[in-house]
Amino acid sequence: MTAQGLECPAPGAPDFLYEELETVSSTNSLCFERARAGHPGNLWIRAREQSEGRGRRGRDWMSSEGNLFASLLLIDPEPADRIAELPLAAAVALAEAVDKAAGTLQLVSLKWPNDLLVGGAKLSGILLEAETLADGRRAVVIGFGVNCVSHPPLTLYQATDLRSLGFQVTAERLFACLAESLAEQLSHWQRPDGFESIRTAWLNRAAHLGREITVRTAREEITGIFADMDARGYLVLKQEDGGQRTVYAGDVFLPEA
């Protein structure tokens, strides 16, 4: 870390705290440091650059200056038994934030569970991590990486960025839209039936719905027709024999990819 920020109300979401830094190892890691030190949560940390950004399954995340790197720390978020829904809520919030910041409508589609795509190319990544702290509290961190001005040339998936697509969106502007949008989606999520509106919004942007996809899990590859996302946020695949297969976690690919 090369600079230490001061906490202030988050732009667009005054009920949340916000800390902006220059260079950090990882905004997710820094959120956990704050939690272990006793922070009460509802804290956004944004960095201009990361030296050790990471994605799902420990993959490296390119963290060049000009792109958005931000993480939200939540302490003991409720309902605790529905934490797995949060990445989907985060994806909807980020999709809405991109539209607002870029002045577009339905620019991005969503690849299960939480990748944003434009024209089939990946625009962002969302990483949720959780940890039980020494004092028994549960820290949940939602990390966002968005390609505003650049993207890696070679990745597991084809990638893109907003500038390459013709949109001049700064990380500062996108973050303010995200903080506001995620606060709204978290408010929905906390209601007893709140995930249904998130699920509907997610499916309205669903990439590959009705198409054959392959899901790579930790143990196997499963191919089928993307039929639905169920009430828990799990992927539902229709199999060749007419049966259905529910997938809880995995990476989605089109068969030709």
pLDDT at 228: 97
191 and 236, same structural domain? no
162 and 217, same structural domain? no
pLDDT at 1: 36
pLDDT average per 10 residues of sequence, the chain (257 residues): 68 95 94 97 95 56 82 97 96 98 97 95 96 98 97 82 97 98 97 95 96 93 95 95 92 77
221 and 189, same structural domain? no
- Enter the pTM of the model: 0.91
Structural domain for 247, as ranges: 212-253
130 and 79, same structural domain? yes
> How many structural domains does the chain have?
2
pLDDT at 75: 98
pLDDT at 53: 60
Measure the N-to-C terminal CA separation of the chain; round to a whole number of Å.
38
219 and 128, same structural domain? no
d(CA 20, CA 7) in angstroms, rounded, equals 8
| Sheet with 251-253, edge to edge strand ranges | 244-247, 235-238, 221-229, 212-216, 251-253
Residue with the two structure tokens 């940390």: 45
Secondary structure percentages of the chain, helix, strand, coil, to 5: 25, 35, 40
pLDDT at 3: 39
13 and 111, same structural domain? yes
222 and 195, same structural domain? no
CATH number of the domain within which 148 lies: 3.30.930.10
d(CA 162, CA 150) in angstroms, rounded, equals 8
Residues 202, 108: contact at Cβ < 8 Å? no
> Is 216 domain-assigned?
yes
d(CA 220, CA 207) in angstroms, rounded, equals 22
> Is 3 domain-assigned?
no
Of the candidates 15, 25, 19, the one whose C-alpha atom is nearest the C-alpha of residue 5 is 19
